Amino acid sequence: MDSIETKTLNFQIRFAEKKDANLIVKYIRELASYENELDQVTVTPDTLGKYMFDQGGAEALIGEYKGEPIGFAFFHRSFSTFLGKPGIALVDLYIEPYSRGNGFGKMMLSYLAHIAKERNCDRLEWWCHDWNTAAIERYVNWGASMVKNIRVYRMDGKNLNDFSKEYAIQSIDK
């Protein structure tokens, strides 16, 4: 796949391909380690390949500096009922520690905004830990705003499994 040249010298962005599954898992693990959540990561290159690439469940951009990968942006399509239009949800944006401070993350997020507009999406949204003040400051400086009065809730594991059975109507013996 062709790379997209950016305003940052020697920095290109390209769409990830199935052959990038190992690299993407590496970045997911590194980001989770930074966020002190590595114990929650169960993804493998095989599961990622199946659900991301074979089933089209998500996409990723790979950032490359001087031809070498230095980060990724992992995203999927979302939908706003308020707008009645699709959007893009950024799940992870990660730049290798040795490459931070060069504007690579900003270029990747800017390109993702371009993709959103190109696909007729009216929103680009992402989540950020409240303790990550450096990232929050950057996002606000770039024009993002915090969504007020909303917190993200998650259900997974045993709770998801148990709750998934709550809808079931019990059969009635006659």
Q: What is the pLDDT of residues 60-101, one digit of tens each?
A: 999 999 999 999 999 999 999 999 999 999 999 999 999 999
Question: What are the sequence ranges of the domains in the chain?
Answer: 4-163
Please state whether the predicted TM-score (pTM) of the whole model is above 0.85. Answer: yes
- Measured CA to CA, the distance from residue 174 to residue 171 in angstroms comes to 9
Q: What is the pLDDT of residue 174?
A: 61
- Tell the CATH topology of 4-163: Aminopeptidase (3.40.630)
Active site residues: 139
**Mean pLDDT value of segment 38-46:** 97
Q: Is the pLDDT of residue 104 over 80?
A: yes
What does the alpha-carbon distance between residue 78 and residue 98 come to, in Å, rounded to a whole number? 32
CB 75 within 8 A of CB 91: yes
Alpha carbon distance, N-terminus to C-terminus of the chain: 62
Q: Is 113 helix (H, G, I), strand (E, B) or coil?
A: helix
